[in-house]
Structure 1
């Protein structure tokens, strides 16, 4: 998928406490943003995208909260692309593609199976100071 994220016309950024309620709030915000951007909640990519988002936010809550009291969720979309990112300040960068090959477990395996099954991409981008990261998922619409 060659879409440049900077070129996507729709963008929303949400900062949340790294606690369980963030999962629900991030999904509700995604639904509102998608609706405002004219993307039907019945589009076949939306339910898997919401599941992916929930898994990524849950992972930050479970694994990063001690070092990252807040997380940032980024939503972006264009006519043919949906991008989601979850950023926290925990330095660990998971091997996303290892989750598919069996070396990973749990939620990241689900994230990667859904992402790849939809023809999407996934990448982990570390912060400049190596003390945090963002996991970006890009899906075709």
Structure 2
């Protein structure tokens, strides 16, 4: 892995057929950056869940989703942005039909002692879900 910050951005159409593309692109890029298999798998699962949420809940106002991958000396950053203005929230229980994606993302972020936030995306009028996983705590 290089010491210089690295970034990669791509867009996906907000339909179920593009969710596997987001996962494959994330895996290809992060593996190419030299991250270990466990971190790549975790990042892929997070991106998959977030893009799936766009498909299921935001596609009506957001025909595409933007995915940003970044790494610097401190953290791996995963961002999924869409043009829907409403902030996502996990359903009251993780046992309802649906609603488990955000619970899973939060659990994975907590396991890696990371952070997550939802911010306004000024460009689209929508939102950005930003996940940061500290490199110091990622598997070697």
Provide TM-score, normalisation by structure 2.
Answer: 0.81
Once the two structures are superposed, the pairs formed by residues 27-38 of structure 1 within 5 Å of their partners are 27-38=23-34
Matches within 5 A, 1:19-98: 19-40=15-36, 42=37, 44-95=38-89
CA change 1:49–1:129 in 2 (3 A) is closer
Let me know the Cα RMSD of the aligned residues. 2.2
Q: Give the corresponding residue for 2:11.
A: 15
Tell me if the contact between 2:27 and 2:41 (Cα under 8 Å) persists in the aligned partners.
no
- SS of residue matched to 1:93: coil
Which string of whole-angstrom CA distances, capped at 9 and with x for unpartnered residues, describes residues 78-112 of structure 1?
A: 345211111000011124xxx49x56732101110
Unaligned runs of 5+ in 1: 1-7
Counterpart secondary structure, 1:139: strand
Provide closer, same or farther for how the CA distance between residues 93 and 130 of structure 1 changes in structure 2, counting only shifts above 3 A.
farther
SS at match of 1:45: helix
Q: Distance in 1 between matches of 2:66 and 2:79?
A: 8
Gap regions ≥5 residues in structure 2:
136-140
In 2, the alpha carbon distance for the partners of 1:46 and 1:32 equals 9
